[in-house]
Structure 1
């Protein structure tokens, strides 16, 4: 039995771009965006955890081979893809990656189908900031940023950048000022995250809820899974979205 056994394969198209999706569960919707190098077994395990708590989970495939374990070769292949693709801004300052529009469309469709206060969104590693970008223009009620590492922290400015254009920063701040909370999870000494948590604290104030885990590991919810962090994210979805 493969790690994607029981997941329903689909696809979503927006602005002429189509990506595959995997879906499972019942209840309020959550968009779970995989990290580099792709939708690994560890990412799928976390998706199963969300399903088990009473949520409908949709996992888009943005790069990589679904179900393939992480390896140096897989990471290199996905890095090459995100660095050359027009959908992603791996190094640009103060710009929102175009894939955010596709993810916002996916969230709108899921919310229109399932209703409720909104959908949850969790991004990890390279896609960590995408959950925040979705909040800018989609019905996202529970955004989670797990070790956000984009743009790649080459230099001080990139290490602090949120990967959002000015208009999207303003839209996010307005929604947070209106009461939406944003959950962030990281290992405190993870250099890939840079100083983004400081930027988020300044931009979002007390409605940025930070979980700082001890150590210098990276993948809080998957490869370097911390059970306390997983429980905090699941509780956040339950609190903001309800359950089936």
Structure 2
């Protein structure tokens, strides 16, 4: 039995030889929402609901953790330990993506086949934060949202500037940008040790005008979230007009509309 996510229906999809549960909500062009550690928390589900209600068909795959379990130190530690030993994630790879991205590319192709439209959106957070970039290879992703992209773990200068994508994946992203008008939106808190500023400098150097970056002073993070500030769209969101995190959420929805919905 799998857990329910309120407001979503669920299905089992076998793609690239692996079956996973995917939660679905909304109608419109497809947007894949990839969860952060520790999983599909209530805050992640709330964000995915906002995306669906903005006019999109959300595909929320179960990648790790237990759906709808609140964030806690124990849940964070347990899920991160699982990710560390999983063969589907490469936490230290600066110039290669994680193997699970192959499955997510297949999901993007499947979702585009079901929903149509100009392409697919992909929103990643934390350990999945860079996946939307790598998913531009062999998949119709034209709107990649990179929220606090945390891989590779920033242990060295090379890792701090790493994009967790191979040369072939970066080349594919450039091709999607040039041929299909793909764009990238990236966001972080400026004092987040898991997502250093060097990574955003690399993004701007690599993609120039095709990438839009948002860097929010850490003092504007929701103080009720875990410390240090990290999760722009979920745990550290202050959902009030005038707040920088709410502005980042609004910009995310506008970015997806610009890229995926007809004028």
Q: Under a length normalisation based on structure 2, what TM-score does the superposition of the two structures give? A: 0.88
Q: Under a length normalisation based on structure 1, what TM-score does the superposition of the two structures give? A: 0.95
**1:220 pairs with one of 232, 247, 251:** 232
Q: Is the contact made by 1:13 and 1:102 (CA closer than 8 Å) also made in structure 2?
A: no
Q: Is the contact made by 1:173 and 1:203 (CA closer than 8 Å) also made in structure 2?
A: no
The C-alpha deviation readout for 1:130-163, integer Å capped at 9, x for no partner, is 1111112210121100010011111211111111
**1:208 pairs with one of 211, 218, 227:** 211
Q: What residue number does 2:166 align with?
A: 165
Q: Does the C-alpha gap of structure 1 residues 3 and 19 become closer, same or farther in structure 2, counting only changes over 3 Å?
A: closer
Q: What residue number does 2:224 align with?
A: none
The C-alpha deviation readout for 1:49-104, integer Å capped at 9, x for no partner, is 01111111110011000010011111111111111111110112311111111000
The C-alpha deviation readout for 1:179-199, integer Å capped at 9, x for no partner, is 321111111221211221111
For residues 3 and 51 of structure 1, what CA distance do their matches in structure 2 show? Answer: 17
Deviation at 1:45, TM superposition (A): 0.4
Q: With CA pairs under 8 Å and 6+ residues apart, which has the higher RCO, 1 or 2?
A: 1
For residues 33 and 128 of structure 1, what CA distance do their matches in structure 2 show? Answer: 8
Q: What residue number does 1:241 align with?
A: 260
Q: What residue number does 2:186 align with?
A: 184
The reply on whether 1:151 has 2:170 as its aligned counterpart is no
Q: Which moved more, 1:29-38 or 1:129-138?
A: 129-138
For residues 84 and 16 of structure 1, what CA distance do their matches in structure 2 show? Answer: 20
SS of 1:219's partner is coil
The reply on whether 1:199 has 2:211 as its aligned counterpart is no
For residues 14 and 53 of structure 1, what CA distance do their matches in structure 2 show? Answer: 27
Structure 2 unaligned spans of 5+? 220-228, 238-244
The reply on whether 1:80 has 2:66 as its aligned counterpart is no
SS of 1:123's partner is strand
For residues 78 and 9 of structure 1, what CA distance do their matches in structure 2 show? Answer: 22
Q: What residue number does 1:137 align with?
A: 138
Q: Which moved more, 1:141-150 or 1:167-176?
A: 167-176
Q: What residue number does 2:54 align with?
A: 53
The C-alpha deviation readout for 1:100-122, integer Å capped at 9, x for no partner, is 11000001001011110011110
Structure 1 unaligned spans of 5+? none
Structure 1 runs (4+) greater than 3 angstroms displaced: none
SS of 2:218's partner is coil
